[in-house]
Structure 1
Amino acid sequence: MHVSLDTMVDTLKAAAESSRLRILALLSRGDLTVSDLTEILGQSQPRVSRHLKLLLEAGLIGRYQEGSWAFFRLSDADSARDFVMGLVSSIRGADPQVERDLERLTSVKRKRQDRATAYFSQNAASWDHIRSLHVPDRAVEAAMLKLVGKRPFQSMLDLGTGTGRLLEIFSPLYRRGIGIDMSREMLTVARANLDKAGVSNAQVRQGDIFSPPVERDAFDLVTIHQVLHYLDDPARAIHEAARLLRPAGRLVIVDFAPHALEFLRDEHAHMRLGFSDRQIADWFSEAGLDLEDAQEFEPRSGNEARLTVKLWLGRDRRLLIADPANASQQTRVSSIGEIA
Structure 2
Amino acid sequence: MKEMASLLRIVADETRLRVLRLLSETPLNVTELTTILGLAQSGVSKQVGTLKKAGLVRERREGLKTFYRLSEEGEVPEEGRPLWALLMDRVRSTEDSRHDLVRLADVLEAREGDTPGLHERLLAPGESWHAWSRMIMTLLPTMERAVDLGCGGGILTAELARACDEVVGVDISGSALSAARAHAERVGLTNVRFVEGDMTTLDLPDSCCDVAVLSQTLHHLPDPMVGLQVAARLLKAGGRLILMELLPHDEAWVTDKLGHLHLGFAATDLESMMEDAGFRITSLETLPPSRSERFRAVQACAVWE
For the aligned pair, the TM-score class normalised by the smaller chain equals: 0.5 to 0.7
Residue 82 of structure 1: aligned partner: none
- The aligned counterpart of 1:153 is 143
Matched ranges for 1:37-48 at <5 A: none
The whole-number CA distance in structure 1 between the counterparts of 2:259 and 2:196 is 20
Query: Deviation at 1:126?
Result: 4.6
> Which residue does the alignment assign to 1:218?
208
Which consecutive residues of structure 2, in runs of 5 or more, have no partner in the other structure? 1-112
**Over residues 272-313 of structure 1, what are the superposed CA-to-partner deviations in whole Å (9 max), with x where a residue is unaligned?**
11112221222112221111111221222156xx21111111
The one-character-per-residue Cα deviations of 1:308-333 (angstroms, maximum 9, x if unpaired) are 1111111112xxxxxxxxxxxxxxxx
The letter of the residue matching 1:308 is R
Q: Select which of 314, 317, 322 maps to 2:302.
A: 314
Indicate the residue corresponding to 1:125 in structure 2. 117
Match of 1:143 in 2: 134
Q: Spell out the pairing of 1:260-339 with structure 2 (5 A cutoff).
A: 260-302=250-292, 306-317=294-305
Q: 1:270 to 1:241 in 2, by over 3 A?
A: same
Does structure 2 conserve the Cα–Cα contact (< 8 Å) formed by 1:154 and 1:219? yes
Deviations 1:49-76 (A, max 9, x none): xxxxxxxxxxxxxxxxxxxxxxxxxxxx
Residue 93 of structure 2 aligns with which residue? none
Secondary structure at 2:254 match in 1: helix
Give the drift of 1:131: 3.2
Match of residue 178 from structure 2:
188
* Partners of 1:283 and 1:211 in 2: CA distance: 21
**Contact 1:230/1:269, CA 8 A, preserved across alignment:** yes
Matches of 1:173 and 1:125 in 2, distance apart?
29
Percent identity, aligned pairs only? 23
Give the aligned residue type for 1:142: S
State the Cα distance separating 1:266 from its structure 2 match: 3.8
| Cα shift at 1:265 | 2.3
| Aligned AA (1:180) | V
Asked if the contact 1:153/1:220 (under 8 Å) is kept, the reply is yes
Structure 1 Cα separation of the partners of residues 301 and 154 of structure 2: 20
Displacement of 1:136 in angstroms is 6.4
Instruction: Report matched runs for 1:61-210 at 5 Å.
Output: 125-131=117-123, 134=125, 137-149=128-140, 151-210=141-200
Q: In the alignment, which residue of structure 1 is the partner of 2:97?
A: none
Residues 264, 160 of structure 1: alpha-carbon distance in 2 compared, 3 angstrom cutoff: same
CA 168–257 in structure 1, closer or farther in 2 if over 3 Å, else same: same
In 2: Cα distance, 1:291 partner to 1:310 partner: 13
SS in 2 for 1:271: coil
Identify if the C-alpha distance between structure 1 residues 135 and 236 changes in structure 2 by more than 3 Å, giving closer, same or farther.
Answer: closer
Counterpart residue number, 2:249: 259
The one-character-per-residue Cα deviations of 1:199-248 (angstroms, maximum 9, x if unpaired) are 11111111212222211110000001111111110012111211110001
* 1:45 paired residue number: none
Distance change (3 Å), C-alpha of 1:195 and 1:266: closer
Q: Is the 8 A contact 2:126 2:244 kept in 1?
A: no
Amino acid at match of 1:144: M
1:140-174 per-residue CA deviation (whole Å, 9 max, x = no partner) reads 0121122114x111110011111111221122221
TM-score scaled by length of structure 2? 0.59
Number of residue pairs aligned between Structure 1 and Structure 2: 194
User: What's the Cα RMSD here?
Assistant: 2.3
Does the CA contact (< 8 Å) of 1:135 and 1:300 recur in 2? no
Cα distance in 2 for residues equivalent to 1:293 and 1:278 = 13
Q: Matched residue of 2:269: which SS?
A: helix
Structure-1-length-normalised TM-score: 0.53
SS at match of 2:225: helix
Distance 1:191 1:231 in 2: 23
CA distance in 2: counterparts of 1:267 and 1:169, whole angstroms: 27
Counterpart-to-counterpart distance in 2, 1:154 and 1:223: 14
